[in-house]
């Protein structure tokens, strides 16, 4: 299994909470970026790809012409005839019927929309450029175009959000009948406007919101297959599942990571530097690590425990004490030779995972 991730580092405007690598969209810069992507991709020419994920930033900021160029870079460089999934992230604000049709015709199989909230007031607080009406329009346009595998991202712990408004959000989103939902607790990252404004999400409230979501989505036919992800009809994100199962992937673009031939790489996070360096044949890798057997086992545990299916117990041979500690305190359970989080551990999973480092 080999995945392909392509980072598109452009957004129309930066949201107040976001520290993903993205800068304001400028057409000429995006054209140069695609030329650099094409050149970087040559390193992997002919590789057979199982899943593609085009993320960002906001891939939907690209013009039709630029999307055609991106599709041609993928199709002319890689072997995608056995590809099982192609996902594209969209912001409702830059989604048009024309772009959706193009993606559908380019054999994109899955869309992921950033919605965050159904309340226009919250969307304004977050610095989003769309309202709920615009999201619904983009979403139903996607359905009408023929997409039948759509994810919706929501955030919880938004300033002024209450448990009640969160419950209403989930009830409303359920009516949209999407196949997949991702729920993220708002995290306040350094160097964001939210950080400067000293916004502090209420962790106890976020825990209650998460608990409600787990029960509510289960009652309504969603499978909780990963800590932050729910799917209907087994429409899991195959690409993300490949990360959680510690499989190999190629990452193209600024800030992209790769796990390829036993090395993990990370690319330069500065968009301009990335373009300049690729085009002048200079180094774009800022981090490179050889994955030893020991590291592979640790990563397999840390990534795999995020999945409801858990991790084979054979990987815990060298950390039986940590495993036993968390089985005794009720955070991990062993069933049919697989180690899994218990329900109560899911919201605090990060602190448990860090014990396995
Ligand atoms: C790349 S964006 C999705 C596509 C598009 N850029 C958009 O925002 O509509 C990835 C998702 O990460 C989540 N996210 C980003 N920053 C976050 C933060 N600080 N806390 C929680 N979730 C965050 C949001 O739900 C967002 O939709
Ligand atoms: S959340 Fe999405 S649209 Fe907003 S700044 Fe981050 S990547 Fe861009």
Each as own residue / partner, the long-range contacts of residues 228-233 (CB below 8 Å, 24 or more positions apart, any chain) are 228/182, 228/183, 228/184, 229/180, 229/181, 229/182, 230/180, 230/181, 230/182, 230/183, 231/179, 231/180, 232/179, 232/180, 233/179
CATH (residue range 2-243): 3.80.30.20
Please tell me the predicted confidence (pLDDT) of residue 355.
92
Ligand 1 atom at minimal distance to the Cα of residue 182: 25
User: Which residue of 114, 115, 122, 134 sits with most ligand 2 atoms within 8 Å of its CB, as the best mutation to test the pocket?
Assistant: 114
Please tell me the predicted confidence (pLDDT) of residue 91.
98
Give the separation between CA 329 and CA 276, rounded to whole angstroms. Answer: 52
Ligand nearest to the CA of 53: 1
The one-digit pLDDT tens for each residue of the chain (357 residues) are 999 999 999 999 999 999 999 999 999 999 999 999 999 999 999 999 999 999 999 999 999 999 999 999 999 999 999 999 999 999 999 999 999 999 999 999 999 999 999 999 999 999 999 999 999 999 999 999 999 999 999 999 999 999 999 999 999 999 999 999 999 999 999 999 999 999 999 999 999 999 999 999 999 999 999 999 999 999 999 999 999 999 999 999 999 999 999 999 999 999 999 999 999 999 999 999 999 999 999 999 999 999 999 999 999 999 999 999 999 999 999 999 999 999 999 999 999 999 998
Instruction: Please tell me the residue having the least CA distance from ligand 2 atom 2.
Output: 57
User: Which residue of 20, 59, 142, 210 sits with most ligand 1 atoms within 8 Å of its CB, as the best mutation to test the pocket?
Assistant: 20
Residues 6+ apart with CB under 8 A from 261: 248
Residue 24 dihedral angles phi and psi, to the nearest 5°? -60, 140
User: Which residue of 89, 201, 256 sits with most ligand 1 atoms within 8 Å of its CB, as the best mutation to test the pocket?
Assistant: 89
- CATH 3.80.30.20 spans which residues of the chain? 2-243
Ligand 2 atom at minimal distance to the Cα of residue 93: 3
Ligand 1 pocket, residues with Cβ under 6 angstroms:
11, 17-18, 20, 55-56, 58, 89, 91, 114, 116, 153, 155, 184, 186-187, 189
Instruction: Please tell me the residue having the least CA distance from ligand 1 atom 13.
Output: 184
Query: Is the beta carbon of 179 within 6 A of some atom in ligand 2?
Result: no
Ligand nearest to the CA of 128: 2
Give the separation between CA 212 and CA 167, rounded to whole angstroms. Answer: 8
Please tell me the predicted confidence (pLDDT) of residue 357.
84
């Amino acid at each position: 299994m080999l995945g392909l991730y392509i980072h598109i580092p452009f957004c129309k405007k930066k949201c107040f909470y976001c520290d993903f690598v993205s800068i304001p969209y400028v057409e000429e810069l995006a054209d140069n970026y695609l030329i650099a992507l094409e050149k970087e991709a040559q390193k992997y020419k002919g590789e057979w790809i199982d899943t593609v994920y085009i993320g960002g930033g906001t891939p939907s900021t690209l013009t039709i012409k630029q999307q055609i160029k991106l599709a041609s870079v993928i199709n002319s460089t890689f072997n995608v005839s056995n590809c099982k999934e192609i996902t594209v992230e969209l912001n409702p604000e830059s989604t048009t019927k024309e772009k959706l049709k193009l993606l559908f015709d380019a054999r994109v199989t899955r869309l992921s929309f950033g919605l965050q909230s159904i309340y226009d007031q919250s969307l304004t607080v977050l610095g989003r450029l769309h309202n709920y009406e615009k999201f619904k329009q983009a979403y139903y346009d996607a359905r009408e175009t023929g997409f039948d595998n759509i994810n919706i991202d929501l955030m919880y712990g938004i300033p002024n959000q209450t448990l009640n408004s969160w419950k209403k959000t989930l009830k409303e989103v359920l009516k949209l009948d999407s196949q997949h939902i991702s729920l993220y607790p708002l995290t306040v990252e350094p160097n964001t406007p939210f950080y400067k404004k000293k916004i502090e999400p209420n962790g106890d409230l976020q825990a209650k919101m998460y608990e409600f979501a787990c029960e509510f989505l289960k009652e309504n036919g969603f499978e909780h297959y990963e800590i932050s992800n729910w799917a209907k009809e087994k429409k899991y994100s195959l690409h993300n599942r490949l990360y959680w199962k510690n499989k190999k992937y190629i990452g193209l673009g600024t800030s992209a990571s790769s796990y390829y031939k036993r090395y993990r790489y990370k690319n330069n996070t500065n968009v301009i530097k990335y373009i300049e360096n690729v085009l002048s044949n200079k180094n774009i890798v800022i981090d490179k690590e050889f994955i030893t057997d020991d590291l592979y086992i640790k990563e397999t545990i840390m990534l795999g425990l995020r999945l409801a299916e858990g991790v084979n117990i054979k990987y815990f041979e060298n950390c039986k004490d940590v495993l036993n500690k968390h089985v005794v305190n009720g955070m991990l359970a062993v069933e049919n030779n697989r180690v899994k989080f218990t329900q109560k551990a899911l919201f605090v999973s990060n602190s448990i995972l860090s014990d396995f480092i």
